[in-house]
């Protein structure tokens, strides 16, 4: 199942040419992942308080077409793989039907000391039924 949320491009997101600065796509997809987890009923603050956090381990990104000031973009997130301590998602940023940016993101679940740990049971369960 694909989760979708919308992001408006503001002036601060663009460079001198009025095109979205490349690093801002990473911010957009970060928001998309957070919104996806929230919609699954996962409270990331409670996860952190319980000693679990996510860290991006790997991103493979393709910049396909430019987004511009005032565009309304859809950030799509789809689970690709889940292991005991890691999840992989595909994320796409679209303007209408046109794909502008695509990324595969690997997230590791870590404890407070930065060591890999198993995904919390509630999260694993929520992802299994997504």
Opening angle at CA 8, ends 44 and 130, nearest 5 = 40
**Which residue matches tokens 């393709």?**
62
Structure tokens at 94: 């679209």
> Are residues 125 and 79 in contact, defined by beta-carbon separation less than 8 angstroms?
no
Nearest Cα to Cα of residue 67 among 27, 106, 37, 40 = 27
| Active-site residue identified among 13, 15, 49, 90 | 15
Residue 15 falls in the annotated catalytic set: yes
Q: Active-site residues: which are they? A: 15
């Amino acid at each position: 199942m694909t989760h979708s949320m919308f992001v408006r491009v503001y002036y601060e997101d663009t460079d001198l040419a009025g095109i979205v600065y490349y690093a801002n796509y990473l911010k957009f997809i970060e928001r998309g992942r957070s919104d996806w987890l929230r919609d699954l009923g996962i409270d990331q603050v409670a996860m952190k308080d319980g000693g679990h956090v996510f860290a991006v381990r790997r991103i493979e990104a393709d910049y396909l077409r430019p987004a511009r000031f005032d565009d309304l973009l859809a950030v799509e997130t789809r689970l690709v793989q889940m292991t005991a301590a890691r999840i992989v998602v595909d994320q796409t940023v679209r303007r209408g039907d046109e794909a502008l940016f695509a990324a595969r993101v690997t997230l590791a679940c870590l404890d407070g000391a930065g060591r890999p740990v198993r995904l919390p049971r509630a999260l694993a369960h929520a992802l299994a039924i997504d």
